[in-house]
Amino acid sequence: MANILKISRIGHPVLREIAKEVDPELIGTPDFQRFLVEMVETMREYNGVGLAAPQVHVPLQVAVLEVKTYNERYGKTEEIVPLTFMINPQLAGTSGGQVLDWEGCLSVPGLRGEVPRWERITVKYLDREGSPQTLEAEGFHARVIQHEWDHLQGMVYLDRMKDMRSLSFNEEFSRYQL
Ligand code: NI
């Protein structure tokens, strides 16, 4: 069983630092590989769709993503975003204009708001083996990547909101926005 890591919340300075690049030589070490597993287990424990290392008090350029949803009609779990490990990610391109949709964040518990994000992006990163990858993503997948990438720049989704009036507690969102 992997360790569940403690989540940092806004106000903690680690969320406002620019995370440091990972030395590619470190990626294959047992300590780093264990840290990746702990990040995945922590993301799953708290039902996150992504998690960036600063959110577990580690100021390194590492993020994990995974989105699964249970499809009642087919009675099975579908993978919307496969489990992805992004080390030293760089946004290499954006297109399609910006679209508004709801986001929440484990570091801003209980709240959500409407955030503009690029419809399509290209991101380059090192995977868990340290191999370079280029990924094109769109829609919700692109949104999750941009949200996690922001964390590595010391930003949270609140900084991206153009109109704070959509900010809602989850209970009020369920009552009035759904
Ligand atoms: Ni977040």
Residue 67 CB-density burial (10 A; 0-12 exposed, 13-18 middle, 19+ buried): middle
Using the mean position of ligand 1's atoms as its centre, give its distance from the Cα of residue 95 in Å.
22
CA dist 149 and 165 (Å) reads 24
Using the mean position of ligand 1's atoms as its centre, give its distance from the Cα of residue 33 in Å.
22
| Residue 112: how many other CB atoms lie within 10 Å | 19
Instruction: Tell me the two tokens of residue 11.
Output: 């106000």
Sequence-ordered list of residues with C-beta below 8 angstroms from that of 133, at least 6 positions apart, any chain: 124, 125, 126, 127
pLDDT tens string 74-122: 788 888 899 999 999 999 999 999 999 999 999 999 999 999 999 999 9
Instruction: Tell me the two tokens of residue 66.
Output: 């995974």
pLDDT tens string 118-173: 999 999 999 999 999 999 999 999 999 999 999 999 999 999 999 999 999 999 99
Using the mean position of ligand 1's atoms as its centre, give its distance from the Cα of residue 15 in Å.
10
Catalytic positions:
148
The end-to-end CA distance of the chain, in Å, is 37
* Whole-structure pTM value: 0.94
